[in-house]
Chains A and B, each alone.
Chain A
Amino acid sequence: MAWVWFHRFGSPPHFYRLATRLGPWFGWSALLLCLAGLIGGLVLAPADYQQGDGFRIIYVHAPSAWLSLMVYVVMASSAAVGLIWRMNVAHAVAASCAPIGASFTAVALLTGMLWGRPMWGTYWEWDPRLTSELLLLFLYLGYMGLRNSIDDLGRADRASGLLAIVGVVNVPIIHYSVIWWNSLHQAPSVMKFGRPTMPASMLLPLLAMLAGFTCYFVALLLTRARAEVLRRERSAHWIAAALAAPAGSGTGTGAGSAGEVPA
């Protein structure tokens, strides 16, 4: 039974304990990595010879843009797991991904606009990357809209999960069609983030920020997913035991086994 470890994720008490245990690790790593990245990026890194200090917004923009796409893939993957193995916890994770991903997309859009003001002279340029970020935001909003408008939880899970999978197939098509559309209208934009030609003093803080943002996402996801699992399992027996255990030591086998035995 090599798949036992996998199916164990489907057990809400197990997932809840695991998320409670792992959450702080990711949270603290995110804090440390982002602090290091911000000091490296905002203080230590030299100003860009063309863009001056304006380039420093990349340390927030690039990680948000990267996460906005990654969160969508995580959402669609866990929705697929939920649909295929009928795993309620996976649906809870997918549901928790959407608001986080939408927020990262909004941050990426906003920082892109702020960067565009000094560089392009306007807040909004129909740059292909910004435009596909905007469309990604619409995809997130559609997902959340569909989930909110179906009352029955199981059906909301499956319908929005299917939408996430349809969306993840479409994201690359939309992205490349937008790039193609734009290349017909204007010369390639000056926005070339993450080129390998970047010197190490600029690149290392960026990598730290990327890792830090990713850890931050995982910490947020675990917190939201725990809340979502609690909401869904509010009538289950294990909840009382899990909540009664003091925070941090709620990982003991005593609390878990007591919770899983029906009273």
Chain B
Amino acid sequence: MSTVQIGFARAAARLMARDLRIALRRSGDSLLPLGFFLVVTTLFPLALDPELSLLRDIAPAALWVGALLSSLLALDLLFRDDGQDGTLEQLALCGQPFAGLLLAKTAVHWLLTGLPLVLVAPLAGIALGAPYGAMPGILAALLLGTVALSLIGAVGAGLTMSLKHNGSLLALLVLPLAVPVLIFGARATALAIAGEDLSAPLYLLGAIVVLAATLVPWALAAAVRIGLE
């Protein structure tokens, strides 16, 4: 059998196309965290007085805690199947930069779970009494925030990949690391709802995304290699 040498860009593109194809054939899996997000944000008005001014105050917290928990749930999908059937081992051995391939996988994971969450967030925002004018700000904050959460969470998913019951451990590992994202994201959302300038927390969120995108691939490759041993 002859081997075909391909460049990294093509390898990553093929991997992403494969991951997307598998996910679209089983679209229920990646929609579940989305449903979870909507249900959680619906619970807040039910647990409180459904009074619009009160809801508007807690809207940033409800949106971001919901996004954080839903991204945590979605992390289970990231490496589970590919770890079990040996795909990750083949990726580690195939000669392409492992960190780059894992970053590509994480990007697909964000497309499947992070982006849909950003797209339905306006619905949840309106239900929580956020004014229409705040939507661009909420979308921008969630766009950056979900990228950061996918990246940070991926390291936790890689570290707990080989464990059988990893749900609560994953939460304990990832949630403290996600605190800065939560703080800046919720702050940006609160400023957007109040109709004020939200560029400062958005810049900080952007800085977290850049830092995470720079450092996470190496930590992720090391974590998955340890899990594969």
Contact = CB atoms under 8 A, between A and B. Distances in A.
A142 interface: yes
A135 B179 contact: yes
Contact of B176 (A138, A150, A154, A165): A138
A177 interface: yes
Interface stretch (B83-91, B138-146, B219-227): B219-227
B9 interface: no
Contacts of B179: 135, 174, 177-178
A159 B159 contact: yes
Contacts of B177: 139, 166-167, 170, 174
A154 B229 CA distance: 10
Interface string B13-54: 000000000000000000000000000000000000000000
A123 interface: no
Contact of B169 (A146, A158, A170, A178): A146
Contacts of B183: 177-178, 180-181
A162 B226 contact: yes
B173 A181 contact: no
A43 interface: no
B176 A181 contact: no
A138 B175 CA distance: 9
B119 interface: no
Contact of B219 (A135, A142, A166, A180): A166
Given A138-B175, A146-B160, A146-B169, 8 more contacts: A138-B172, A142-B176, A149-B163, A155-B229, A159-B223, A167-B177, A173-B211, A177-B184
Contacts of A166: 155, 177, 219
B210 interface: no
B222 A142 contact: no
Interface residues of A, number: 27
Given A162-B219, A166-B177, A145 B169 contact: yes
B56 interface: no
B176 A149 contact: no
Nearest to A83: B222
B180 interface: yes
A247 interface: no
Contact of A177 (B169, B180, B219, B223): B180
Contacts of A149: 160, 163, 166, 169
Contacts of B211: 173
B182 to A, nearest CB: 9
A70 interface: no
17 contacts: A135-B176, A135-B179, A138-B172, A139-B176, A142-B169, A145-B172, A149-B169, A150-B163, A155-B226, A155-B227, A162-B219, A162-B226, A163-B173, A166-B177, A173-B208, A174-B176, A174-B177
Which of B160, B162, B215, B226 has the most chain A CB within a 10 Å cutoff? B226
A102 to B, nearest CB: 13
A141 interface: yes
B105 interface: no
A145 B166 CA distance: 10
A169 interface: yes
Contacts of A165: 219
A165 to B, nearest CB: 8
Contacts of A261: none
Given A166-B219, A169-B215, A159 B227 contact: yes
Nearest to A143: B173
A184 interface: yes
A146 B166 CA distance: 9
Contacts of A181: 183, 187
A177 B184 CA distance: 8
Nearest to B207: A173
Nearest to A180: B183
B173 A142 contact: yes
A138 B172 CA distance: 7
A180 B173 CA distance: 23
